[in-house]
Structure 1
């Protein structure tokens, strides 16, 4: 019984028709066979996903609830930890492209995900997005163009995040600022006297209380190998979250959280303080505000461990690593890129030649 509990997120389901591994079909609630096309529905929990009470998990006795062991693969090159729901003897690290061997897997505890946002776009579409993006890059090395033509460089990855919910209450003291204008005569840069409107502020004391529900504060749960998933694509529609089922992971890589729940909670409190400050300023009103003191309290705190989708393409050029990320929900793309020295050199050289010819012709 215990063995079944430990292994349930790692079970791979075989196709009833041909025996091949069933994999999640992005944008659906089905797992499908890539060989014969057989599909099976993923059973969605009608009760939705569960919000877990925070403080029991922050204590030693609560850590093992809703948790189990999974097999992890550690990349010796870049340090990333990945859980793989793929039926391969070997594969490559999604971050740096170095080979990983399943025989090197080790067991590690994790808090089970409460929810997952399944991939909404498939690998072929992500590959086309990446390919078209590379085509639009100026001075990209030819090797990068070749990498963009090979789908094996693009991998689907689930990133771990914490979400925190809480009832927020805050009392504050501060000041409400109201603008008024005075007219005065000043000398401008040309030495002439001109009329100028000068804005000033009258300050009035303010105090009060604010309260409300803080829903789904999203906190990164892994360092994501120096945290390089670009912020510009790190936006997902959390309304698409589904109760966790391992079927959604089939055929993809999952990164385990490396930022402990305790640290994630501390970060979420900083975010909540920023939200409270905004609410206080809105309550103060006027044209501008000062919050001189604020006492914030959070109650009924809950959390979830969730998984969010990205596609990653890893590429090495001149000994340096580059990553390209595509949001697996909305298809937005971002990443670092190398430049070809020779392409830049010959472009500059050609420009200088053209300029030289124009100068010579103008002298005739």
Structure 2
């Protein structure tokens, strides 16, 4: 019988040499002491991460199987819920930079993550990626590159996602369209010509499709600000590791705010879209009309997983700009200021070139 007893993850580990807190070293399976350099290996689990049966969770969410309590801080400015490790002395919201009050922390239960994708690049590498990005910006103000950018404000965050697996089966009815062409004469006299006109023959069809949906990825948190750009939201889930709280040491962990039941509804919408694609491929022909699809999902399972991203923000001329670096791939996306005068003189330059070309062409 499956064990659903609550589990408690260890949130803090200390160095055996000097007593300082250990943090996860990105790209490794080790914890590292930032003071004396001591390394400690993370004990690798004997079994792979577990897919949890979906139906019992949807029916009995109050029991919160496979759950634990963690300390949370809520940002009153942007609404982000975040768990901050104890080694952060000065606390601020990772999204908007507003101060967080330690005394306002509270305990909240969450479904224990089933897997985590550990950071593959460290904080210094993420900041170097940002600095290179700034240097390559077009129409950025010249003194942006001289702005006071503190690499210590580039912080690692584990984002919560739901993943869903299921067997999909669907019956369908529709029509298969096959193109054919007829020759028509158009115009008259000297303008007369023949053209090929495409037409479609339709054939009634019905059938069924089936297949396995693996790791449908659904975002599990929403904020009023600080939305992670879609450009960087791609990770190789084949590198997921069974959850171990050691990977969280030295990083911020965001708690899901989209409940499992809502995530499941969104995954069903994705499944419907996938089923439509399978049906159209099964119908074949040159084009398709789908009249009905009766879709069923069975053997549904899910995981709560954590995925890595670096977030930072900087002040420039009184305005805050945010940038993001994928903690696995290093892909960057961010907000940036533009120089009005650079754009203005560039437009004048283009207009001058057009004027010279027009003058010689005349």
TM-score normalised over the length of structure 2: 0.89
Q: Which residue of 1 aligns with 2:169?
A: 169
Q: Structure 1 330/224 Cα, relative in aligned 2: closer, same or farther at 3 Å? A: farther
- 8 Å CA contact 2:8–2:69 kept in 1: the answer is no
Alignment of 1:331-342 (within 5 A): 331-342=330-341
> 1:138: how far off?
2.1
Task: State how far apart, in whole Å, the 1-side matches of 2:226 and 2:287 are.
Answer: 35
- 8 Å CA contact 1:10–1:85 kept in 2: the answer is no
Describe the SS at the equivalent of 1:275.
helix
> 1:102: how far off?
2.7
Q: Which residue of 2 aligns with 1:271?
A: 270
Q: Which residue of 1 aligns with 2:222?
A: 223
Deviations 1:10-43 (A, max 9, x none): 5211111121111111111111112222111112
Task: State how far apart, in whole Å, the 2-side matches of 1:278 and 1:39 are.
Answer: 50
Number of residue pairs the alignment of both structures matches: 355
Q: Which residue of 2 aligns with 1:140?
A: 140
Deviations 1:122-142 (A, max 9, x none): 111111111111111123246
Task: State how far apart, in whole Å, the 1-side matches of 2:285 and 2:16 are.
Answer: 67
Q: Which residue of 2 aligns with 1:57?
A: 57
Task: State how far apart, in whole Å, the 1-side matches of 2:61 and 2:125 are.
Answer: 45
1:20 equivalenced with 2:46 (yes/no): no
1:99 equivalenced with 2:99 (yes/no): yes
Describe the SS at the equivalent of 1:82.
strand
Describe the SS at the equivalent of 2:276.
helix
Q: Structure 1 144/39 Cα, relative in aligned 2: closer, same or farther at 3 Å? A: same
> 1:7: how far off?
9.1
Q: Which residue of 1 aligns with 2:112?
A: 112
Of 83-92 and 324-333, the range deviating more from structure 2: 83-92
Q: Structure 1 62/165 Cα, relative in aligned 2: closer, same or farther at 3 Å? A: farther
Q: Which residue of 1 aligns with 2:251?
A: 252
Q: Which residue of 2 aligns with 1:122?
A: 122
Describe the SS at the equivalent of 1:100.
coil
> 1:315: how far off?
2.7
Task: State how far apart, in whole Å, the 2-side matches of 1:307 and 1:115 are.
Answer: 7
Task: State how far apart, in whole Å, the 2-side matches of 1:78 and 1:318 are.
Answer: 22
Q: Structure 1 156/142 Cα, relative in aligned 2: closer, same or farther at 3 Å? A: farther
Alignment of 1:200-219 (within 5 A): 200-219=199-218
- 8 Å CA contact 1:144–1:315 kept in 2: the answer is no
Q: Structure 1 352/334 Cα, relative in aligned 2: closer, same or farther at 3 Å? A: closer
- 8 Å CA contact 2:169–2:297 kept in 1: the answer is yes
> 1:70: how far off?
0.7
Q: Which residue of 1 aligns with 2:323?
A: 324
Deviations 1:166-186 (A, max 9, x none): 111100001111111222233
> 1:153: how far off?
2.6
- 8 Å CA contact 1:86–1:253 kept in 2: the answer is no
> 1:93: how far off?
1.4
- 8 Å CA contact 1:154–1:311 kept in 2: the answer is yes
Task: State how far apart, in whole Å, the 2-side matches of 1:29 and 1:50 are.
Answer: 20
Deviations 1:165-209 (A, max 9, x none): 111110000111111122223349xx8333322222111111011
Of 220-229 and 339-348, the range deviating more from structure 2: 339-348
Task: State how far apart, in whole Å, the 2-side matches of 1:148 and 1:220 are.
Answer: 33
Structure 1's unaligned 5+ residue stretches are none
- 8 Å CA contact 1:89–1:101 kept in 2: the answer is no
Task: State how far apart, in whole Å, the 1-side matches of 2:193 and 2:80 are.
Answer: 65
> 1:243: how far off?
0.3
Q: Which residue of 2 aligns with 1:36?
A: 36
Task: State how far apart, in whole Å, the 2-side matches of 1:358 and 1:185 are.
Answer: 48
Of 266-275 and 321-330, the range deviating more from structure 2: 321-330
